[in-house]
Structure 1
Amino acid sequence: MRVFTTLLSPAEARARYLAALSPAPLGAETVPLDQALDRVLTADLVAGEDLPPFDRSTVDGFAVRAADVEQGGESAPARLRLVGEVRMGEATALRLGAGETVRVPTGGMLPPGADAVVIQERSRVLDETVEVHRPVRPGENMISRGEDVRAGDTVLRAGRRLRPQDLGILAGLGHARVAVRLRPTVAIISSGDEIVPPDRPAGPGQIRDMNTFSLGGLVRHAGGIPVPFPILPDDLATVHGALRRAVEAHDIVLISGGSSVGEHDVVVDAIRALGPPGIVVHGVAIRPGKPTVLAVAGNRPIVGLPGNPVSAMVIFDVFVRPVLAALRGSTEERPPGTRVRARAGRAIAAPTEREDHVRVALEARDGDLWAHPLPAKSGLLTSMVRADGIVVVPPGGRIAEGETVEVDLLEG
Structure 2
Amino acid sequence: MTELFKLMSVEQAWEAFKEHISIPQIKAETLPIHQALGRVLAGDVISDVDVPGFGRSTMDGFAVRARDTFGASEAMPAMLQITGEVFMGRDASAAVKPGSAVRIATGGMLPEGADAVVMVEYTEELDSTTILVNRPVAPGENTVRRGEDICAGQELIRAGTLIRPQEMGAMAGIGITACQVVQKPSVGILSTGDEVVGPDQEPGPGQIRDINSVAIAGLVEESGGQAVRYGIIPDEFSRLEEVVKIAVQETDIIIISGGSSVGSRDVTSAIINSLGDPGVLVHGVSVKPGKPTILGVVSGKPVIGLPGHPASAMVLADIFLVPLVRAFCGLGFTPLQRRTVKAVIGRSMASASGRKDYIRVTVREEDGKVTAEPVLGKSGLITTMVRADGVVVIPSEKEGLEAGEHVKVILF
Q: CA RMSD in A?
A: 2.0
- What's the CA shift for 1:33? 0.8
Look up the match of 1:147. Answer: 148
- Which runs of 5 or more structure 1 residues have no equivalent in the other structure? none
Identity, in percent, stands at 45
Aligned to 1:102, what secondary structure does the other structure show?
Answer: strand
Matches within 5 A, 1:5-404: 5-125=5-125, 126-330=127-331, 333-334=334-335, 336=337, 338-395=339-396, 397=398, 398-404=400-406
CA distance in 1, matches of 2:332, 2:151: 25
Indicate how the Cα distance of structure 1 residues 252 and 346 shifts in structure 2: closer, same or farther if over 3 A, else same: same
Shift of 1:127: 1.6
Letter in 2 for 1:401: A
1:58 and 1:123 map into 2 onto residues whose CA distance is: 16
**For residues 341 and 148 of structure 1, what CA distance do their matches in structure 2 show?**
37
Question: Distance in 2 between the 1:117 and 1:368 partners?
Answer: 48
**Which residue number in structure 1 is paired with residue 409 of structure 2?**
407
Shift of the 306–406 alpha-carbon distance from structure 1 to 2, 3 Å rule, reads same
Q: Determine the C-alpha separation between the residues in 1 that align with 2:188 and 2:68.
A: 69
Paired residues of 2:322 and 2:336 also in contact (CA < 8 A): no
- TM-score, L = length of structure 1: 0.93
1:17 is matched by which residue type in structure 2? Answer: F
Q: Which amino acid aligns with 1:393?
A: I
Which deviates more from structure 2 when the two are superposed, residues 265-274 or residues 87-96?
Answer: 87-96
Alpha-carbon spacing, 1:50–1:358, altered in 2? closer, same or farther (3 Å): same
CA–CA distance in structure 1, aligned partners of residues 69 and 403 of structure 2: 62
- The aligned amino acid for 1:53 is G
Distance 1:277 1:169, change over 3 A: same
CA contact (8 A) 1:56 1:107 kept: yes
Which segment drifts farther, 65-74 or 48-57?
65-74
TM-score, normalised relative to structure 2: 0.93
* Counterparts of 2:109 and 2:337, CA distance in 1: 37
Q: CA deviation at 1:337?
A: 5.6
Per-residue CA shift, 1:321-377, capped at 9, x if unaligned? 111111101258245563333222222322224210111222223334322221152
- What do residues 134-171 of structure 1 show as CA deviations (whole Å, max 9, x unaligned)? 44344333222222222333322221101000111111
User: After alignment, is 24-33 or 224-233 more displaced?
Assistant: 24-33
| Between 76-85 and 5-14, the greater mean CA deviation after superposition | 76-85
Separation (CA, whole Å) in 1 of partners of 2:208 and 2:5: 30
What one-letter code is carried by the residue in structure 1 that aligns with 2:79?
A: R
Query: Do the aligned residues in 1 keep the contact of 2:286 with 2:354 (CA within 8 Å)?
Result: yes
Q: Report the count of equivalent residues.
A: 410
Letter paired with 2:117: V
